[in-house]
Structure 1
Amino acid sequence: MAMHPLRKQRLIVVLFIIFGAAMAVALASFALRENINLFYSPADIAAGKAPVGASIRAGGMVLEGSVKRDTKSLRVDFIVTDYQAQLPVVYTGILPDLFDEGQGVVASGALDDSGVFQAVEVLAKHDENYMPPEVQSALDAAARFEKKTTD
């Protein structure tokens, strides 16, 4: 039994709409997956959990005495720590006003092959009472780990 021409045309339109919607969802998921910036603590990065070359965020406290400013450019080298591990960070640009040694920071960028975090953005905490949630949980985890190993 042959399909009526009007039904056949409707079926083709419906299938075309379903295929188009599926393609739109697939493209949107791919684009979102590429833009996800996962947070890693210095301990996670030292343990090899962070992907090299991928866009990630890293955070912790700026190690006292680690900030080195290049006098000829806007390059700043510093170390971020969660008191379990240390992560060398290189950033070229103007740092936030609240950036300082001993303060909490979150940096966006990528880890290079030599284990140095190449930051494209550095965010500093807002005031002495605020700590970015990712940094606070990483520091809490480090404190729990420290307490376990000393007991």
Structure 2
Amino acid sequence: MAEQLTIKIQQTSDYKFEVDFGAALSPIMADLPPPLGEGSAPSPEHLLLAAVANCLSASLLFALRKFKQNAENIQTTISCTVDRNEQKRLRVTHINANINLGKAAAEFEHLERILAQFEDFCTVSQSVQAGIPLQINVFDGDGVVLK
């Protein structure tokens, strides 16, 4: 079953926009960084990264809970590279996400299966990854690379 999502963006001043998600959610502000905007609110690139990181984190939590595993404070750090393309236009050229599970790998059951499937649950990262290379790394609470 398809779902239709709609938001409304309203310019409030210069390059600052209010992002209205509808009656059920509080609006947020978005702004471009200087020199065009004031950098007083998240930029579109920030919002893209937040969407990818949130979706990946929630998808990993979902996969862990499918196997009745306690996540213990998932923390995700995400970054991107913004560079010019051949036409000299700025583009997000690469995204790197580092997800930390918050406890040692040995404390999880079925971790290999969980890590093998969680990315497939993430609507946003799977959609973005079709056009932007996305590197996803998962670490346990001791900093050991799991994926």
CA radius of gyration, larger in: 1
Q: Give the alignment's TM-score, normalised by structure 1.
A: 0.25
Structure with the largest fraction of helix: 1
